């Protein structure tokens, strides 16, 4: 999407410029092209990763103990979860396209597909639920945590979403 492209450019431009200058000053003039290429790639990759991490608005991550937790950035209007290949997030423990997370005016709403069983969000079963920071979504035998940089108070959500 255009939004992802802009975020990538914001991270890529400083990485390319700064690492390119460093390549010219330190490696290119001495004939160390292989080492300079590694330096260039490392700087560009790091800047891309930092920009994507710092500029994300909302995401879900798996509740695991490991250092590297799987994350899915919620930047589309509709983020689908299920065992189908067409889903944005595939989970083998649940049938088909089980539910979607919709972007509604800076709010994310979890909506279970028709004819599917409710989803457990923060220890309660829901078919339709507005997500707030820290909500846990239980998918099969795995737990995912919803995070957002935009703080919402649960009392004001009913007026905003309806």
CATH 2.60.200.20 fits 58-161, yes or no: yes
Contact 106, 133 (CB under 8 A): no
**Percent of the chain whose pLDDT exceeds 90:** 4
Output the DSSP codes for 92-127. Answer: TTS-SEEEEEEEETTEEEEEEPTTSPPEEETTEEES
For 125-137, the pLDDT digits (tens) are 888 898 988 899 9
For 50-94, the pLDDT digits (tens) are 777 777 778 888 887 777 778 888 888 899 888 888 888 888 877
CATH 2.60.200.20 residue ranges for the chain:
58-161
Q: In which band, very low, low, confident or very high, does the pLDDT at 151 lie, cut at 50, 70 and 90? A: low
pTM: 0.67
Q: Name 135's Cβ contacts closer than 8 Å, sequence gap at least 6.
A: 121, 122, 129, 145, 146
Q: Name 113's Cβ contacts closer than 8 Å, sequence gap at least 6.
A: 96, 97, 98, 99, 100
């Amino acid at each position: 999407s255009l939004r992802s492209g802009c975020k990538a450019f914001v991270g890529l431009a400083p990485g390319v410029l700064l690492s390119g200058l460093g390549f010219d000053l330190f490696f290119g003039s001495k004939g160390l092209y292989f080492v300079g290429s590694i330096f260039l790639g490392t700087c560009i990759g790091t800047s891309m990763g930092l920009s994507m991490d710092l500029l994300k608005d909302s995401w879900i991550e798996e509740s695991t103990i490991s250092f590297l937790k799987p994350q899915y950035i919620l930047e589309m209007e509709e983020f689908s979860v299920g065992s189908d290949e067409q889903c944005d997030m595939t989970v083998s423990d649940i049938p088909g396209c089980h539910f979607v997370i919709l972007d509604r005016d800076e709010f994310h709403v979890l909506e279970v597909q028709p004819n599917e069983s409710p989803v457990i969000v923060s220890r309660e079963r829901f078919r339709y639920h507005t997500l707030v920071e820290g909500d846990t979504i239980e998918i099969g035998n795995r737990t995912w945590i919803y995070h957002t940089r935009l703080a919402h108070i649960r009392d004001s959500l009913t007026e905003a979403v309806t």
